[in-house]
Amino acid sequence: MSHNRFAFTSRKKQAGFGLPVAIFIITVLSMVVAGISKLGESSAVAFGQDVNSIRAFYAAESGAQIGLARLFSVVSPPESCDSSIYSDHTGLEGLNKCNVDVACSRVNNPPDTYYTLVSTATCGSGVDAAQRIVEVKAKS
């Protein structure tokens, strides 16, 4: 009979032990799920910023090439190098509707003339916005 009494005593001492363990496990799992969710959200934002950053770079590069084509045109009279040689705020269709501004400056050093084109492109909006600047120097 003492054996039964011992089993009963140990069960009585263990009563209520499962509830704190269950609460602890649920709390830890909730924290893990919240951490994974936050990590996924920040990864999505970073991916959006990376994509817009690449688009902005290519848009700025395209703007610089358009500026050079206008400056050194062989088909039509070349444009003068004023403060703004090219601007597109309608959004370049092929580059996810990025805005591009190209500024031009000139330095005369006879017999050569040196041009500096600064192309600034902005893609995206809000948290995903990215801006890139490409500077091109040319000599004529």
| Model confidence pTM above 0.95 | no
The mean pLDDT of 91-114, rounded to a whole number, is 81
Q: What angle do CA 53, 48, 133 make, to 5 degrees?
A: 15
Type of residue numbered 54: I
Q: How many distinct structural domains can be found in the chain? A: 1
Output the pLDDT for position 69: 87
On whether residue 3 sits in a domain, the answer given is: no
Give the residue numbers spanning the domain of 56.
16-139
Output the pLDDT for position 66: 87
The mean pLDDT of 98-113, rounded to a whole number, is 87
On whether residue 1 sits in a domain, the answer given is: no
**Cα(53)–Cα(119) distance, integer angstroms:** 14
On whether residue 4 sits in a domain, the answer given is: no
